[in-house]
Chain A
């Protein structure tokens, strides 16, 4: 019952989001066909107008777009009046790259932030705590794209350890692939590290004040067991919630970082769509990202009920 209701909400949100993004297109000044194929002949423009049913009223256009979208047809990317490529193909290539980038960033962020958050909460007020507090503050203030360029410069240009940009598929070279992902993933992870660390620390400090921690300690368990088994798990719920909320920031950051590092993911493709004035392609990609975002939040919701037995039982 709970899940069915959530699925309903999910569907409604996705519909509203795509409706909204389709509505945005109607705000475009002038003739869409002019924008899409600016140098085409009148006949070619007429063709585009017909393909996209541009003369039909908005609800019809939206219904057509939605129908195509559901069937996996995301429209075409017009490279010129005659050459075009299905957006679905582009997305199929680009989306996994963006997802991989985000996944690595998230993994790096958690691997660094969790132990640091736990240790700084445990050693509240220590040198480590104060230092990482200041470092976190600075990391949060450094714009991701600027950090991308700075890292690119130092590790790519000056030290020459890692490529300054570009994407190497794992099928071509695994080590090349890993190398090409390191800097972008770190760049994207930095702000997340700061957020998660801060959050986990303040949450853990509260958890460590709880009676059940004292009781766990009184069982003679080692500090590590007490911290990671007894204290981290209740605190991880907060972490998970924020990680879910953060996905939006992460997506925005990933798009920008793809442009910075020239990784042909969704961000770079969207930049191309903007540069090539392809509103339909752009809209489809916005919709894909929004749907992904909604789905992730839905998954976080589900995971939340798995992790917290109190919620699990309440929903049963």
Chain B
């Protein structure tokens, strides 16, 4: 059996004439499928009221816990609400949480990382240790603590306004993602800031902020994009975890997470609720992860940075 030892000699001979500019391929079928799934679900969630999707809060008691039927394609949940409708409308909350949290984290964490990675020095010395401390609390625990503290009803029996809760979930998961996104952006920025063209721009006396935004940022974007895509999936799943603790999106507004959390006790009698919803989350996260990989490949983002 061969272990495939390195052969400097052959590598040398082969590399000499390696075709240049390989890699800028068209998007493959997989990527389009992934985009189609993510965008399709989003569009469906937006136009749902106009295409005859039933109200996700309307109950059909006679259909409670029943599996897929002609009237309700994906069956009904524990209270008899249409599962398809809840999943489609749940896309709204899950997407808002997923994309919202990452957008929030990227806006702050990305900016901090960019500034700190570009200027280093004192800013770096203050911000990086702070981020390290934030990273010292497991992300999920921190998010759980934030949401619990910021959106706990004051008295038993009271409920929190669903949109306030949604905002808090986005904020909580977004805050949690700041140190991670910041650290990655910082590392990528530092790597690019050492490149010749940046040094050249500096030497020519261009304004620092101009260099940062014009020369460095465009090159940092691919790494941020790929990690952001992974982050969206993580945030969507995290909302599901929060929902199990009663700290996810507030009922009756559906989210993928609270659909599962609400009916977790129906697993034995009507497994379709959890199985179908799990499949939707799974496919979405897989699509997002796949697109993240595509970005890494196309833009040659170095793995070490991630």
- State the A residues within 8 Å of B (CB): 13, 16-17, 20-21, 24-25, 27-30, 34-35, 38-39, 122, 124, 137-138, 140-147, 149-150, 152-153, 157, 164, 202, 208-211, 213-214, 217, 223, 226-227, 247-249, 251-253, 255-256, 259-260, 270-271, 274-275, 277, 279, 282-283, 286, 289-290, 293-294, 297
In the complex, chain A residues whose CB is within 8 Å of the CB of B247:
274
B49-57, B58-66, B82-90, B140-148: which one contacts chain A?
B140-148
Q: Are B286 and A17 in contact (CB under 8 A)?
A: no
Closest-by-CB residue of A relative to B236 is A143
The 9 nearest A-B residue pairs measured at CB: A252-B140, A146-B278, A141-B286, A214-B5, A248-B138, A143-B237, A251-B138, A256-B241, A141-B285
Contact A248 B5, CB 8 Å, known A21-B145, A145-B241: no
Chain A residues with Cβ below 8 Å from B5 are 208-209, 213-214, 217
* Stretch from B19-27, B100-108, B263-271 forming part of the interface with A: B263-271
Q: State whether A213 and B3 are in contact (beta carbons under 8 Å apart), knowing that A150-B274, A157-B267 are contacts in the complex.
A: yes
Task: Pick the interface stretch among B40-48, B72-80, B119-127, B151-159.
Answer: B151-159
Chain B positions within 8 Å of A29 at CB level: 154
A286, B3: Cβ atoms closer than 8 Å? no
Q: Which residues of A contact B267 (CB under 8 A)?
A: 149, 152-153, 157, 164
Q: A30-B154, A140-B289, A271-B244 are in contact. List 13 more A-B contacts (CB 8 A).
A: A13-B132, A17-B136, A21-B145, A24-B146, A38-B155, A142-B278, A146-B274, A149-B274, A164-B268, A251-B141, A252-B238, A255-B144, A286-B137
**16 interchain pairs (CB within 8 A)?**
A24-B145, A24-B146, A38-B155, A137-B289, A137-B290, A138-B286, A145-B260, A164-B268, A202-B303, A223-B3, A226-B3, A253-B140, A255-B241, A256-B244, A260-B244, A274-B148
Query: What distance in Å separates the Cβ of B34 from its nearest Cβ neighbour in chain A?
Result: 11
Contacts of A227 in B (CB 8 A): 3
Contact present for B244 and A248 (CB under 8 Å):
no
Contact assessment for A153 and B271 in the assembled complex, using a CB-CB cutoff below 8 Å:
yes
Cβ contact within 8 Å between B286 and A137: yes
Bound-state Cα–Cα, A146 to B281, Å: 9
Expressed in whole angstroms, the Cα–Cα distance for A293 and B140 within the complex equals: 12
Contacts of A255 in B (CB 8 A): 140-141, 144, 241
Given contacts A24-B149, A255-B140, A270-B144, contact A146 B282 (CB under 8 A): yes
CB pair A28–B137 under 8 Å, yes or no, is no
B17 within 8 A of A: no
Are B278 and A157 in contact (CB-based, < 8 A)?
A: no
Residues of B within 8 A of A259 (CB): 244-245
Contact A271 B246, CB 8 Å, known A164-B267, A208-B3, A293-B136: yes
Enumerate chain A residues within 8 angstroms of B240, measured Cβ to Cβ.
143, 145-146
B149 proximity list for chain A (CB < 8 A): 24-25, 27-28, 279
- Closest-CB distance, B80 to chain A (whole angstroms): 21
Interface size on B, residues (CB 8 A): 52
Given contacts A28-B149, A34-B155, A145-B244, contact A293 B138 (CB under 8 A): yes
Q: Which residues of A have CB within 8 Å of B289?
A: 137, 140-141
- Bound form: Cα–Cα A252–B239 in Å: 12
Looking at the assembled complex, report how far the CB atom of B211 sits from the nearest CB atom of chain A, in whole angstroms: 32
- Candidates B6, B133, B139; contact of A252 at CB < 8 Å: B139
Any chain A CB within 8 A of the CB of B110?
no
User: Is residue B4 within 8 Å, beta carbon to beta carbon, of the partner chain?
Assistant: yes
With a cutoff of 8 Å between Cβ atoms, the chain B residues found around residue A38 in the complex are 155-156
B1-25 near A? 1/0 per residue, CB < 8 Å:
1011110000000000000000000
A17 vs B137: C-alpha distance when bound (angstroms)? 7
Within the complex, what minimum Cβ distance (angstroms) separates A156 from chain B?
Answer: 8
CA distance A297 to B138 in the complex (A): 12
Q: Which residues of B contact A217 (CB under 8 A)?
A: 3, 5
Q: Are A210 and B6 in contact (CB under 8 A)?
A: yes
Judge if B150 is at the interface, Cβ distance under 8 Å. yes
Question: How many Å from the CB of A168 to the closest CB on chain B?
Answer: 19
CB pair A142 B282 closer than 8 Å: yes
Residues B246 and A274 in contact, CB atoms below 8 Å apart? yes
Which residue in chain A gives the minimum CB-CB distance to B268?
A157
> For the complex, is B231 an interface residue (Cβ under 8 Å from A)?
no
- A13 proximity list for chain B (CB < 8 A): 132-133, 136
Name A287's closest neighbour in chain B (CB-CB): B137
Residues of A within 8 A of B290 (CB): 137
- The answer to whether A143 and B285 touch across the interface, beta carbons within 8 angstroms, is yes
Q: A251: which B residues are within 8 A, CB to CB?
A: 138, 140-141
Asked, given contacts A143-B278, A259-B244, A279-B149, whether A211 binds B268 with beta carbons under 8 Å apart, the answer is: no
> Shortest distance in angstroms between B267's beta carbon and chain A's nearest beta carbon?
6
